[in-house]
Amino acid sequence: MTDTPIRLLCLPYAGAGASFYRPWTALAGEGLEIVPLQLPGRERLIDDEPYRNVSAAVDGLMDQLAPDGGRFALFGHSLGAILAYELAHRLVESPGVEVVHLFASGSPEPADGRDRHATGLSDDEFLDRVAEFAGYRHPALDDPEMRDMILPTLRADVEMHESYTPGTDRPLDAPLTVVRGEDDDLVTYDDAEAWTKVAGRDFEHVEVPGGHMYLVDAAPALVRLIASTVL
């Protein structure tokens, strides 16, 4: 390990904000800096228009990072895995930047979109479909005031995910680890394994206990996995 810390860029799943990853800082230990990236339409950016296009979102994330060199790893779950993948491609082309690893969690490989969509459904049908996809429903969605606040951004995130097509067909020039909850009913083992199609360097597929939203309760083990891989 060099003296230069690795910055772990953390990309949120649909509807989530940067705060989800902030507790990881206390878990990371020496040599790994947790960098939660914030998308508009949530938390401190609640009044900003959310993205509906992955390419535009990655443009915004690159502006937010303004990388002028350094060592980066990336982690993203579900929608965040797609954002992390596209962002990794941008970073490997940036002068002085080393992408040491991409961790793609809870997602089929980039070109494989899901057959059933939630975009365009009524509010109740949309939330039921999203809960069905995730196997998880955030308690805030049961509060009418919070639901009205969250719903527009959640809709935008889901639209962004469901309309996504890969920005490149080039293999990613960085090591890639795919993480999947072994009881995930949304992303199958074969879905996760198919990330080999875009891997240009070392590839590993890790199965962990839990369903699609395993990471809600598995932060310590997940951060240990990331740290032991990159440090």
Q: Looking at residue 215, which CATH number applies to its domain?
A: 3.40.50.1820
Calpha distance 169→228 (Å, rounded): 29
3-state secondary structure of 41: coil
Question: Is 15 exposed, middle or buried, given 0-12, 13-18 or 19+ CB atoms closer than 10 A?
Answer: buried
Q: Does the structure show a pLDDT above 50 at 182?
A: yes
Question: Does residue 211 lie in a domain region?
Answer: yes
Range of the domain at 71: 6-230
Q: For 75-94, what is each residue's pLDDT tens digit?
A: 999 999 999 999 999 999 99
- Is-catalytic flag, 78? yes
Crossing angle (nearest 10°) for helices 79-92 and 144-162:
50
For the whole prediction, is pTM greater than 0.85?
yes
CA distance readout (Å), 124 to 32, 81, 144, 147, 151 = 41, 26, 12, 11, 11
Given pLDDT bands bounded at 50, 70 and 90, which one contains residue 117? confident
| DSSP code of residue 215 | G
Q: Report how many domains make up the chain.
A: 1
Q: For 51-79, what is each residue's pLDDT tens digit?
A: 999 999 999 999 999 898 999 999 999 99
Question: Does residue 34 lie in a domain region?
Answer: yes
Pick the catalytic residue: 55, 78, 105, 163? 78
Question: Does residue 1 lie in a domain region?
Answer: no
Given pLDDT bands bounded at 50, 70 and 90, which one contains residue 150? confident
Q: For 14-56, what is each residue's pLDDT tens digit?
A: 989 999 999 999 999 889 999 999 999 999 999 999 999 999 9
3-state secondary structure of 123: helix
Average pLDDT, the chain: 92
| Percent of the chain clearing pLDDT 90 (strictly above) | 74
Calpha distance 177→141 (Å, rounded): 32
